[in-house]
Structure 1
Amino acid sequence: MTEANPMTETAEAEATPEVEATPKLWDDVQPEIFQMLRLAPLQTDRATGGRPLRFVQFGKAERHSKETSLLRMNIQLPGQRVRREQNTLDVWVDHVTRIVSFGPASGIQIEPWNRGIGRFLIAQAIHWTQKRWATYRIEGFDLASKDGLNEDTRLRRDHFLRTRGFEVGYADAQHLKGSVKEVQVGNLNNTWNNDKVQIIEILEASQMLEKAEQNMKEQEVQIRQHEEKVGKYKREDSSLRFTIACLVTFAVFQAGLLIWIATHR
């Protein structure tokens, strides 16, 4: 998993009958509860570029049975499409084995990266699980070796996992064969940086919109006042230009008249 636990159709001949794939449990579940998230503006990062203020949509849905529970979460970006496996995190709870696992199998893929979204999703997953099944456990898992090829990426990943409460270890000196040990859900950290990612409730959002509209009206009044001042200055400038032109014409006339008088005496 990029920021947490990692979980990857051959056409048959026409004469061969098609075999339908067995649908996965709750595969068609889509988020049903939505909230707005505020991504705080951050300093430009050398790896990810600019990080301006953004608002995104956080959606989630739950399903429960006697044997299994599911929490499905995703992040939607207004005006921007992402791949299906991006900005998605599933939390699967097996009540028979009392094991919690994460999906998708390809790991968490976040867009935009380095804005705190991954930490937020994992914190939500841990919080949801701890409320009901704090004694359940997350089995140990291997870390993707490709992350170890870049020292900065590996350090970011390991710091992320350790701040959540996972124990990271390596079987080689090159830090390529990394793994995370088994941990009890109740021992994990379910917090995130609220300064980077803030949940905006409906009432707060409406207040923000009202304040923005009020600010826009005030700015419109100020712009209108400035436009009136500019118009006044333009009118005064035109009058001054006309007066100057008249004075210059009169001065030229007087100079010409004096020259004529001096040459015709």
Structure 2
Amino acid sequence: MSDTPSQPAGSEEPATPEALPRPWADVQPEHFRMLRLAPLQTDRSTGARPLRFVQLGYAERHNKELSLLRLSIELPGQHVHKEQNQLDIWLDHAEKRVSINPERGLLVDPLNRGIGRFLMARGVQWAQKKASRYRFESLDLPTKDALSEDMRLRRDHCLRTQGFDVVYEDALHRKARIEAGVIGDLYTTWNSDKIQFIEILDAAQMLQQAEQHLQEKELKLREKDEKISKYQREDTGLRFTITCLVAFAVFQAGLLIWIATHR
């Protein structure tokens, strides 16, 4: 006989509630703008930083419980991993809470061009318009972002200039977290010396100027080619003249030797 008390007929153990997956997993960017990454001095950690143009894509979704802003940076002629250059901002209207994805940290490519701070600023700006008094929870920062002193300082500078409070839990500055706060207290600025929006007319003007510069360069190259061809023709003529003079001098010397020996 079992000592375990029997359950009343028809009764069942209550199921443990599971967190429902968030909607809109397959949302793709629907609106696009062009960005200019300004040329910067070569960095000893990340290498050359030439002029580049990239595309900002974004999409929004809303229902009664949640709102989503999905931001992404696309690089022309270059594919990046799915988790790179993408930032999701979630608003939970029931709990009045803001969260970001990926939670383990924003992965950007190219590095050290201001992309991370720019995406955060755009996300904060959107969240403040929708729910400026919503709170964000404390978030542990991944240790991979602090593998070197330069990386750690760059990360902390980026977060603190946006208004986040970075706190360290150890003397080695390895374990760090962002303190909880209100989204309305954050800043929406980014380093405009590194990243600028490019409007369609501005892009068209830049293309027109580039075309004019190319035409000017082609004209100068044609003029140089014509001068080189002229110099080559003159050089060929001079070589022929010199050859004729040398042949004539040799003939004359030979003739003089022959006359001198046959007298």
- Give the TM-score of the pair, scaled to structure 2: 0.88
SS of 1:60's partner is strand
User: Alignment identity in percent?
Assistant: 61
The one of the two structures with greater contact order (alpha-carbon pairs below 8 A, sep at least 6) is 1
Deviation at 1:148, TM superposition (A): 4.2
Residue 240 of structure 2 aligns with which residue?
242
Once residues 227 and 37 of structure 1 are traced to their aligned partners in structure 2, the CA distance between those partners, rounded to angstroms, is 38
Residue 19 of structure 1 aligns with which residue?
none
Once residues 145 and 241 of structure 1 are traced to their aligned partners in structure 2, the CA distance between those partners, rounded to angstroms, is 72
Residue 121 of structure 1 aligns with which residue?
119
**Aligned-residue RMSD, C-alpha:** 1.6
Q: Which amino acid aligns with 2:50?
A: P
Once residues 137 and 125 of structure 1 are traced to their aligned partners in structure 2, the CA distance between those partners, rounded to angstroms, is 14
Residue 140 of structure 1 aligns with which residue?
138
- Identify which of 35, 40, 43 aligns with 1:42: 40
Q: Is the 8 A contact 1:139 1:181 kept in 2?
A: yes
Deviation at 1:149, TM superposition (A): 4.6
Q: Is the 8 A contact 1:146 1:176 kept in 2?
A: no
Once residues 149 and 219 of structure 1 are traced to their aligned partners in structure 2, the CA distance between those partners, rounded to angstroms, is 46
Note the alpha carbon deviations across 1:181-239, whole angstroms, 9 max, x for none: 11222211111111111111111111111111111112111111111111111111111
Deviation at 1:87, TM superposition (A): 0.5
Residue 154 of structure 2 aligns with which residue?
156
SS of 1:166's partner is coil
Change (3 A) 1:105 1:186: closer
The equivalences for 1:56-205 within 5 A come to 56-205=54-203
Deviation at 1:244, TM superposition (A): 0.8
Q: Which amino acid aligns with 1:260?
A: W
Change (3 A) 1:244 1:149: closer
Q: Is the 8 A contact 2:117 2:159 kept in 1?
A: no
Deviation at 1:253, TM superposition (A): 1.1
Larger Rg: 2
Aligned residues: 244
Once residues 195 and 222 of structure 2 are traced to their aligned partners in structure 1, the CA distance between those partners, rounded to angstroms, is 37
Q: Which amino acid aligns with 1:141?
A: L
Q: Which runs of 5+ in 2 are unaligned?
A: 1-19
Q: Is the 8 A contact 2:105 2:142 kept in 1?
A: no
Residue 15 of structure 2 aligns with which residue?
none
Q: Which amino acid aligns with 1:86?
A: Q
Once residues 194 and 108 of structure 2 are traced to their aligned partners in structure 1, the CA distance between those partners, rounded to angstroms, is 15
Note the alpha carbon deviations across 1:127-185, whole angstroms, 9 max, x for none: 11122322222222222234445333222221211111011112222223322211222
Q: Which runs of 5+ in 1 are unaligned?
A: 1-21
Residue 9 of structure 1 aligns with which residue?
none
Change (3 A) 1:200 1:110: same
